[in-house]
Structure 1
Amino acid sequence: MSVRRLPVYILLDTSGSMRGEPIHSVNVGLQAMLSALRQDPYALESVHLSIITFDVEAREYLPLTPLDEVKLGEVIVPDAGATFLGAALELLLQRVDRDIKKTSDEAKGDWRPLLFVMTDGSPSDLYAYREAISQVKTRNFGSILACAAGPKAKQEILLELTDRVVTLDTMDSAAFSGFFKWVSASVAIGSSSAGVSGQVSLPPPPPEVQLVF
């Protein structure tokens, strides 16, 4: 009897403005998130993680991988680069359609996937972004959470994708670590309550992370 998977997709902004301390802080935060999730027996049993990065193009940095097999190298940022979040959502849709197992007569499929998006700007490909949003909404995500990091991130653009938007005022390792700790807590709750229909309830964010209402 195989355990049902909880697919978790993380979209990370690697545009030029993330160079230096911000991307270093993201790497530290990702490792902290992995460590936290691996200590959670529910998560270890069910969570499969995928990471898509986006700058002038979108890339599948980590294909959907069981949590205990995830090995993360350093996420790097090109010298310059736009913020092609629309392209990242298009790639996400392709991967979700390829990866997610649907329930059949023979077997139960995956739990509803969770999606986390982190950006420090706004989409350079706004038209593609808006086109992709309508498609994302048909894919039955258990929860979509977006993070507007730093002063240039546009919350109102992210609110078009999801009503669950958080902000980070600063882009240092304390802020990103706080965000990724919150992601891991949200995933842990998602993995233990995966059978519950409706949106996954989220834990209260740490002080570095503000919810936008």
Structure 2
Amino acid sequence: MDRRLPIYLLIDSSGSMRGEPIESVNVGISAMLSALRQDPYALETVHISIITFDNQVKELVPLQALETAHIDDIELPRSGATHLGEGLHFVCDRIARDVRTSTDHQKGDFRPMLFVMTDGSPSDLMAFNSAVERLKGVEFAQIIACAAGPKARTQELKRFATQTVSLEHMDSSSFANYFQWVSASIAASASGQQQDDDQDIDLPPPPDEVQVVI
């Protein structure tokens, strides 16, 4: 059985992302997939899932091979809450269902990576608090959280992410550079996992538009 590298993208689809931000996210995700499909290590191991959250959580792409993944544009409601907590719980549920664990006879999948993007703060605080605790029991390779725009709050993201970054501007150039970095990070993990077998992987430094939050 081939070992997979599960990649989960959890994207804010609340109404505040309407317009250029979500259009840029859609373009960025498409470019990310195209770039990863040019990388032999990623093409061999990466399986990807895309989940959105607003006042509802939607699984746009169940975990599937990079080679066959087809992603429709993310569409937004006119308004609504930002249920980040529910989104994180949903990711945990899917990991428990989809990610193969090791047995005495064979190794399971590589540790999953989770990329979270939001332009606000969670409006489901009880669910968010319980999700933060639940995430501690999931063995991730990395959890990268991106605070997009001036209204995004990094304090909540830092509670669960292994690395938190911010985008000051929500324009097409900023999102393009962010998703290029995501693509490079996934490719580095895919290559490193195959060569070093579950060791922690150093991700490439983010571009200037993507600020690391200390």
TM-score of the pair, normalised by structure 1 = 0.97
CA offsets 1:90-143 (integer angstroms, 9 cap, x no match): 111110000010111232100000000000000001221111111111110000
Aligned to 2:41: 42
How far 1:77 moved relative to its partner?
0.6
Matches within 5 A, 1:134-145: 134-145=133-144
Rounded to whole Å, the distance in 2 between the matches of 1:166 and 1:174 is: 16
- Aligned with 1:17: secondary structure? helix
Does residue 155 (structure 1) correspond to residue 160 (structure 2)? The answer is no
CA offsets 1:63-112 (integer angstroms, 9 cap, x no match): 00100001111111111111100000111111000001011123210000
CA offsets 1:171-202 (integer angstroms, 9 cap, x no match): 11111111111111110011011144454321
Aligned to 1:200: 201
Count of aligned pairs between the two proteins: 212
How far 1:3 moved relative to its partner?
2.3
Aligned to 1:71: 70
Aligned to 1:100: 99
The 4+ residue runs of structure 1 with deviation greater than 2 A are: 195-200
5+ residue gaps, structure 1, are none
5+ residue gaps, structure 2, are none
Identity over aligned residues, as a percent? 53
Matches within 5 A, 1:119-138: 119-138=118-137
Rounded to whole Å, the distance in 2 between the matches of 1:120 and 1:80 is: 14
Matches within 5 A, 1:77-116: 77-116=76-115
- Aligned with 1:171: secondary structure? coil
Amino acid at match of 1:203: P
